Structures are given as C-alpha cells and as structure tokens.
Amino acid sequence: MKLIATLLAGATLAIAPAAMAQDAPQTTPATPDAPAAQQAAPAAPAAAAPATNASVTDAEVGQFATAALEIEKIRKDTATPEADKGAKMAAAASSAGLTSERFNAIGQAMQGDAALNQRIQKAATDKLAASGGGAAAKQP
C-alpha cells in the first residue's frame, strides 16, 4: 500500500510542471506602433480552488488513479525523451477524463486529506489488481 502512495505522489508531482507550462501566460513582443500594455496576454484565470475529499467524486477518484498509474509508467519510461514526457503525462490525465489542472488539484488535496488519499489508494490498488499489474492484497 505504501508503494501505491509513493507512485501516486510521484505521478502527481510529475505532471505539475507540464500543466503549469501549459498555463503560462503568453506575451507578444512590443512593437513601436503599439504600447507595451496592449501586448500582454489577458491574465490567466485564477487557480481553481483546492479539492477536498467531499468535492472529489468517486468517478474523479477512479480517473485520478487511472491517470496516476499511466503517468508513473511514462515517468519511468527510459525510451521516451524527457522533453516529450510532460505532454504525454498531460495527455494521460486528459484521456482518463481529467484536465491537468484538476489532476493537480486532486493530487495536492490528497497530500493533506487522509480520507481522500485512502480513497485514491484503494482505487489504484483495485485497478492494479484488475489488470494483473500488481499483487494487491484484498482487505477483509
């Protein structure tokens, strides 16, 4: 069970830089014809409120576990260049049904919310057991 928690935490941290890079505001270089103030891109929307156990649905728990397990595979894949991993990790979250931002919000929330952490660990353990990807012991 501790291995699953470590994998999930690592996957959450791995996608964070990719999601932040996607959210970075873009600016256009100033030209002599236009004032610099007009060149800045609109401000990025405020960061989503942190998730809590109560605000994370069972479907999102399953999606997070699916994405985290796939992200961990990508992170460990030595054949994939490091420069390509961020995009693949973001795509894994998206294909699981979560935006990178929501994935990161849930990941951050699980670090401080034991009940949410337990729900996600159980979902990941169940997914590993169902896929034959790990020796998950059934709890009585």
Determine, yes or no, domain membership for 107. yes
Domain count, the chain: 1
CA atoms of 6 and 67, how far apart (whole Å)? 14
> How far is it, in rounded angstroms, from Cα 77 to Cα 122?
25
Contact 120, 63 (CB under 8 A): no
Encode pLDDT of 7-24 as tens digits: 566 666 556 555 444 444
CA distance 85 to 19: 12
Residue 27 pLDDT greater than 50, yes or no:
no
123 part of a folded domain: yes
Give pLDDT, residue 25: 43
Cα torsion angle, 106, 107, 112, 113, sign: positive
Report field, pTM of the whole predicted structure over 0.75: no
Contact criterion met (CB below 8 Å) for 21 and 86: yes
Instruction: Give the tens place of pLDDT for each residue, 63-97.
Output: 999 999 999 999 999 999 999 999 999 999 999 99
Degrees to nearest 5, angle at CA 54 with 53 and 59: 80
- Whether residue 29 lies inside any domain: the answer is no
Domain boundaries, position 94: 2-21+52-131
